[in-house]
Amino acid sequence: MDGISLLTITVLAVFVGFEVVSKVSSTLHTPLMSGANAIHGIILVGAIIVAGQAADPWVLAVALLAVVLATANLVGGFVVTDRMLEMFGGRRDGKGPR
Amino acid sequence: MSILDPTWTGLLYLVAAVLFILALMGLNSPRTARRGNLVGAAGAVLGVATVFLSARLENIPWILGAIAVGSAVAAPVARRVKMTQMPQLVAAFNGVGGGAAALVALLELGHTADAWVRLAIAFTLLVGAVSFAGSAVTFAKLQELMTTRPVVFPGLPVVMAAVLLAALGAGVAVVLTGSLPLALVLLILGLGAGIFLVLPVGGADVPIVISLLNAFTGLAVAASGLVLGNVLLLVAGTLVGASGTILTRAMAAAMGRSVAGILFGAFRGGSTAGSTAVSDRPVRSSSAEDVAVLLGYAQRVIIVPGYGLAVAQGQHTAAELAKALQLRGIQVDFAIHPVAGRMPGHMNVLLAEANVPYEELREMTEINADFKTADVALVVGANDVVNPAAKTSSGSPIYGMPILEVADARQVVFLKRSMRPGFAGIENELLYEPQTTLLFGDAKDSLTKVLGAVKAL
């Protein structure tokens, strides 16, 4: 993909990111932070690519370390966010936030 | 082996990116938040499945093994961690993500001769390393493995500037030469910068730094997307970078601080930076029975829950006490400071865990004016969020932070374990005021005793 297309995607993503988060109440700041944290764990895809290209054992070792770290970020992030949100949902009985 | 052609790969990555956007949108409201998070997880699974089906990969058994190890470590920890310790876990997960991004960039260096790609690699190395090391220090502060006070030593600004300049130089050299040893130097400088960035940040401001480092990791992941020509990483990383920046600014605004003030405030010197000495001025302490009398014959009571209450798992007892007082015809509210706990919104999570009725939780802005009409403000395990130093003492590390104005109440009762200062490491003048009474002990034990005494009135 050429540079301008990548730049276009990046700029649009910045606006989406700003837009999505700007109106969240402080009540949900902690789960939101944790959820965003989980999403950047998708670096796992990059770690898998470099591990899949590795020919040298040292390179493979470093790449596998990256895979382990990225997986921990991704899996742990989504699990801990889910636990937090489960508590928020449990007591509200369909009532919206104040 | 590649089953999918590039068109399908691109489409699937697009779907995964859209799922991430939907996930963040879902987190806007408590009603849709949990579903949103699951949608995000589905996006992640789709993204990972796509890379396995589309890229030519060697070492697949090794990779699957590494994924299994990462999951086996993270999932049980994430499931079992106490809600009180969740901020440090978020910091830890953020740090390992930043570390992974830096390692990916390091390994890609040998695969490119393009100066722009090398620039993205140098950026990822630096920012990923800052995020990793910074998160490690944040973790240590939250876990109280080290002091939560700002750590400043003479010459720190000079050291920091030198590290950043050296990193800039190393970065330029990496872009020009693509040298691996120089990349390692850049990585190490990044680790140093991360440590020096977070050391001077005081306990009360640590949550904001977690959010900032979260945004940094997002940016590092976005830059990795440029390096690998992977749109999913680019979009996901940019989303987190942008939303993390907004979130950081929103939190800083909620505390009445600027982000620069938080990061570099301690550099300016002259700050009290928290005293270690516990003052020996006299305080008025009292028994559970006396506190019960004070509460039982009030007309209006405002309970201010803090981290200490959550640590002692005293939420249920606090809720019961509120009920007992309400039965006596007393109006009772809980006043929640937006940064009570260890993260903005953390107290809401902790009280949600304890099933405290949502209707009784009042936000700071709506309850502050009510303290004047309150007979008793009962502060349970909170300290910094009620400290008038935030308003009166311009040298204080928490100066400018909006506080719950419990000093306006006719009587103030503190349930505290000891005279030890709170997370921000500063003394609370309120403890020495004539209208203040202290009841020492574990928050849950004290509440249980007070509850028993109220029932016996």
**Which class for B210: exposed (0-12), middle (13-18), buried (19 or more C-beta within 10 A)?**
buried
More reliable by pLDDT, B266 or A84: A84
Q: What angle do CA A32, A11, B247 make, to 5 degrees?
A: 25
* Separation of alpha carbons B218 and B194, rounded Å: 15
Q: Do B30 and A88 touch (CB under 8 A)?
A: yes
Active site residues of B: 384
**Tokens of residue B424, six digits:** 């921000």
A 2-61 near B (Cβ less than 8 A): 3, 6, 9-10, 13-18, 20-24, 26-55, 59-60
Q: How far is B259 from chain A (nearest CA, A)?
A: 17
List chain B residues with CB under 8 Å of A58.
none
Q: What angle do CA B122, B92, B421 make, to 5 degrees?
A: 120
**Tokens of residue B345, six digits:** 């919104």
Is the reported ipTM for this assembly greater than 0.85? yes
Per the CB < 8 A criterion, the answer to whether B237 and B218 are in contact is yes
Q: What angle do CA B429, B431, B436 make, to 5 degrees?
A: 125
* Separation of alpha carbons B187 and B170, rounded Å: 9
DSSP state of B440: E
Instruction: Based on DSSP, count helices (H) and strands (E) in chain A, helices before strands.
Output: 4, 0
* Separation of alpha carbons B187 and A56, rounded Å: 21
List chain A residues with CB under 8 Å of B50.
45
Question: What are the distances in angstroms from CA B139 to CA B96, B203, B421?
Answer: 12, 11, 20
Segment A33-68, tens digit of pLDDT:
999 999 999 999 999 999 999 999 999 999 999 999
Q: How far is residue B177 CA from its own chain's centroid? A: 39
Please list, in sequence order, all residues whose beta carbon lies within 8 angstroms of the beta carbon of residue B308, skipping any fewer than 6 positions away.
B380, B381, B382, B383, B415, B416, B417, B443
DSSP-based three-state secondary structure for B126: helix
Instruction: Based on DSSP, count helices (H) and strands (E) in chain B, helices before strands.
Output: 17, 6
Nearest CB to A64 within list B66, B94, B226: B66
Q: What angle do CA B245, B89, B107 make, to 5 degrees?
A: 70
Looking at every residue in chain A, the average pLDDT score rounds to 87
pLDDT average, residue stretch A69-98: 76
Predicted local distance difference test score (pLDDT) of residue B252:
82
DSSP state of A28: G
Tokens 């007070």 sit at which residue?
Answer: B450
Q: How far is A58 from chain B (nearest CA, A)?
A: 10
Nearest CB to A40 within list B21, B28, B217: B217
Please list, in sequence order, all residues whose beta carbon lies within 8 angstroms of the beta carbon of residue B280, skipping any fewer than 6 positions away.
none
Predicted local distance difference test score (pLDDT) of residue A73:
97
**Tokens of residue B404, six digits:** 């719950």
Per the CB < 8 A criterion, the answer to whether B314 and B190 are in contact is no
Nearest CB to B344 within list A29, A71, A82: A29
Predicted local distance difference test score (pLDDT) of residue A74:
97
Q: In this structure, what are the phi and psi dihedrals at residue B57, rounded to the nearest 5 degrees?
A: -115, 135
Predicted local distance difference test score (pLDDT) of residue B420:
74
Element spanning B302, H or E: strand B300-305
Of B352, B339, B257, B353, which Cα lies nearest the Cα of B306? B339
List chain B residues with CB under 8 Å of A28.
27-30, 33, 345
Q: Do A14 and B241 touch (CB under 8 A)?
A: yes
Q: Is the pLDDT of residue A93 over 60?
A: no
Of B392, B384, B381, B401, which Cα lies nearest the Cα of B443? B381
Per the CB < 8 A criterion, the answer to whether B375 and B411 are in contact is yes
List chain A residues with CB under 8 Å of B256.
none
* Separation of alpha carbons B336 and B329, rounded Å: 22
Q: Do B352 and A49 touch (CB under 8 A)?
A: no
Of A47, A20, A19, which Cα lies nearest the Cα of A35? A20
Mutate to test the interface with A, among B34, B124, B212 (most CBs of A within 10 A): B34
* Separation of alpha carbons B261 and B252, rounded Å: 10
Mutate to test the interface with A, among B93, B135, B337 (most CBs of A within 10 A): B93
**Tokens of residue A29, six digits:** 């700041």
Predicted local distance difference test score (pLDDT) of residue B278:
56
Ordered per-residue pLDDT tens for chain B, 457 residues: 567 888 999 999 999 999 999 999 998 888 889 999 999 999 999 999 999 998 889 999 999 999 999 999 999 999 999 888 888 999 999 999 999 999 999 999 988 889 999 999 999 999 999 999 999 999 999 888 888 788 888 888 899 999 999 999 999 999 999 999 999 999 999 999 999 999 988 777 888 899 999 999 999 999 999 999 999 999 999 999 999 999 898 888 777 777 877 777 655 543 444 444 556 677 888 889 999 999 999 999 999 998 888 778 888 899 899 999 999 999 998 998 877 777 777 888 888 777 777 677 788 888 999 999 999 999 998 888 888 888 888 777 777 788 899 989 999 999 988 777 777 777 888 888 888 999 998 889 999 999 999 999 8
Q: Do B97 and A43 touch (CB under 8 A)?
A: yes
Predicted local distance difference test score (pLDDT) of residue B198:
92
Q: Do A81 and B37 touch (CB under 8 A)?
A: yes
Q: How far is A57 from chain B (nearest CA, A)?
A: 10
Number of C-beta neighbours around residue B253 at 10 A: 12
Predicted local distance difference test score (pLDDT) of residue B82:
87
Searching chain B, which residue's CA lies closest to the CA of residue A5? B231
